[in-house]
Structure 1
C-alpha cells in the first residue's frame, strides 16, 4: 500500500534561520527574567522592607512550579493551534509581566513583583520544550540537533545575561531611593526591549513552512489524528527507557541550577565562595553552557553517535563536578583561575547534554509527537530538579552540614546518572525515516 507521504515533495526554506533566530531571542528574553531577583537577593530583600530572602528566591522557584503544572495544557494548545499562537501568547505574557514589574518599584509592593514573575514564568511553559518541536518542523533531519541546541542556548544566554546585568545595574546601598533609581532603569529598559520583540513576533513568526522539510514532519498530521495527548502521555510513561532518561536529565538539571544559583555557599568557609567570584562563576557556567549546547548539537548532527556522545558528555560533567568540589573547598587566589576554567567545563558539559537528551527522548519514543514527548520529558525533569534542588537546600540548612558536602552529593548523583545512561540503548529510528 502506498504511503500518503510517498509523493510529497520535501523542501527546506532559508527563512528557517530567521525563524530560529527570532525564537532564540524569545528564549533569551524569558531567560533574562529568571534570575533577575535572586542573583542580587540581599539587595531586594532590604529594599522590600527586609523581606525574607527565601521570599525573594520564590521569584526563581515559581518557574519550576509553573512548568510542572502548566506545560501539558501548553502542549495541548501547541498541538491544536500551532507554534505561532503559542509563541505569540508566550511573548504577550512575557511583555505584560515586564510592564507590571514597573509597578513594583515601591518597598510595600513585593507582591506585584511576584505577580510579574508569575506571568513571565507562565509564558515560559510555551517555549521551554519547543526547541525540538521547532527544529523538527522547520529543519532537515541532519540539522535538527543543531537547531534544537541553538534554541536551548537562547535560554542559557538569557540566564547568563540576566545574572550579569542584574549584578551590574543593581547595587547594595543603605539608601532605598538609589536602589529605586537602578530598578527603574533596569525595568524600563527590559519592558521596552520585550515590546520590540513582541512586535517582531507579530510580524515575522510562523508556525510551519508551506512544504514539510522531511518525511517525518509530513507524517505528523496522521499521527495527530490517531492519538490524543492523554493517550500519548500514557504511552510515554509506560516506556521504561524514556522514564530512565527523564530521571537522568532531572539529575543533570538539578545539579546545574543549584550550582549556578547556590555558588556562593560552596566554599570552604562559612561564607562560601566570595560573592565577587560567585556571580562571575555562575555567569561563566551559564554562558559556557550555551556554547556547549550548540557545539554538542552540531557534533551530533555530523556524527549521529547519539548514545556514545551523550554518555561521554555526561561523564565529563560528573568528573568536572568532582574537580569543582576539590577546587571550591580550598578557594584561594592561586587557584581561582582553575576554578573558572573548571566552571566553564562543568557548564559546557551539563548544558551540552540537554539538546542531546531531548533528541534522545524523541528517538526512544518514536513515532510519538515531539511536542508531547518533549513536554512530558520537561515536566518530569523539572519535577526532579525541584525535588533534588530542595534536598540540596535542606542539606545546607542543617547547621553542622558543611556546604561543600553538597558538591559531593551532586557528584554522586551524576555518577549514578552515568550508570543509568549506560544502561539505555536506542537505535536512531527517526533519522532512518528521512
Structure 2
C-alpha cells in the first residue's frame, strides 16, 4: 500500500495540493496502524485456555476480512482511475504518454545517481525506524518494571506523532517546494530525537519519554512522504508508484538485517551500544541526504503550461 499515495496524489491533485494529498494518504495508513494497536488488545485477551485465545484471534481476523472486503467492493464499483481533466500539465503529459515496459522503467531508475543516493538514505532511515519500533518493548522493560502497558502506549504515541508529522510536512512542501531542505530537517530531527531517547530512557521520567517519542514520531513519520515526494521530483517523468516502490522495498529489505543486528547488540553489549549503532546509521543517512541535488524535474513540468482537457 505504501507506493499508492504518491501515484494517486499526482493523478488527482495539482502542484499546490499534491504533497498534502500524498501525506494524507500516509495519514490514513498510520491511523490504521494506530487503530490496530488500540483494538486488537481489546479483542484478543490472554486466557488460560488456548482455545479461548484462538476464538479471540478468529474474531479479530474475521473483522479485518469483512472490513477489507467492504473497502474492496467500494473501490471496484465507485473508484475512478483518473479525473476527466488532468489537474496539471505534468499529469496531462503522463496521461498522453504511451505505456512503458516495467523493466524499462526499472532500468532507467537504476541509472539515476541522484535517486540512488536518496534511496540509500531512505533505506537507512526506514531500517532504523523498523529496528527501533520492533525492539522498543525490551528496551522499555529494561528500565521500567512491569512496563508492558507503558511500552504499548509509547509505541502508540510514536505512530500518532507520525500521522501528524506526515500531514505537516506535506503542507510545508506544497507551500515552499523546498524538498531537499525539508528532508534534511526531518532527518536531522529524527537523529536528534533518537540520540535523546538513549539519554533519557534510563532516567525513569515517563513524561520525558513521551515528549522525545512524540518528536521522533513527527520526524520519522514526516520523512516517509517527504522522501517519496522528493523521489517523484527527481525521477519524473517515471511513474511515482515506481520510485515509491523502490523506496519501500529498499527500506523493508534493509530493515531485516538492521533489526537482527540491533537485537544482537542489545543482548551482547546492552542498550547504549545498540542505540549508538542506530544513531551512526542515521548519521550516515543524513550525510547521504545532504549529497542529493535538488533537481526538481516534476516542478519544472508543472510550470510549462496549464492543463488541458484530456481527450479520452
Q: Is the 8 A contact 1:289 1:347 kept in 2?
A: yes
Structure 2 length-normalised TM: 0.89
The residue matched to 2:294 in structure 1 has which SS? coil
Pairing of 1:221-260 with structure 2 (within 5 A): 221-225=95-99, 227-260=100-133
Q: Provide the residue aligned with 1:110 in structure 2.
A: none
The yes-or-no answer on 1:132 pairing with 2:2 is no
Q: Provide the residue aligned with 1:414 in structure 2.
A: 282
Q: Provide the residue aligned with 2:45 in structure 1.
A: 171
1:355-413 Cα distance to aligned partner (Å, 9 max, x none)? 110111111122222222222232222222233223223334xx432134322211111
In 2, Cα distance between the equivalents of 1:177 and 1:228? 50
Pairing of 1:281-360 with structure 2 (within 5 A): 281-328=154-201, 330-332=202-204, 335-360=205-230
Q: Provide the residue aligned with 1:151 in structure 2.
A: 25
Report deviation, 1:272.
Answer: 8.3
Number of residues of Structure 1 aligned to a counterpart in Structure 2 = 302
Which range moved further: 247-256 or 273-282? 273-282
Q: CA RMSD in A?
A: 2.1
Q: Provide the residue aligned with 1:264 in structure 2.
A: 137
Report deviation, 1:177.
Answer: 3.7
The residue matched to 1:433 in structure 2 has which SS? helix
Shift of the 387–224 alpha-carbon distance from structure 1 to 2, 3 Å rule, reads: farther
Where does the alignment leave 5 or more consecutive residues of structure 2 unmatched?
A: 303-312
Shift of the 238–265 alpha-carbon distance from structure 1 to 2, 3 Å rule, reads: same
The residue matched to 1:372 in structure 2 has which SS? helix
In 1, Cα distance between the equivalents of 2:124 and 2:173? 22
Structure 1 length-normalised TM: 0.65
Q: Is the 8 A contact 1:320 1:345 kept in 2?
A: yes
Where does the alignment leave 5 or more consecutive residues of structure 1 unmatched?
A: 1-126
Shift of the 222–388 alpha-carbon distance from structure 1 to 2, 3 Å rule, reads: farther
Pairing of 1:193-232 with structure 2 (within 5 A): 193-225=67-99, 227-232=100-105
Report deviation, 1:430.
Answer: 1.1
Q: Provide the residue aligned with 2:310 in structure 1.
A: none
Report deviation, 1:432.
Answer: 2.4
Q: Is the 8 A contact 1:142 1:301 kept in 2?
A: yes
Which range moved further: 270-279 or 134-143? 270-279
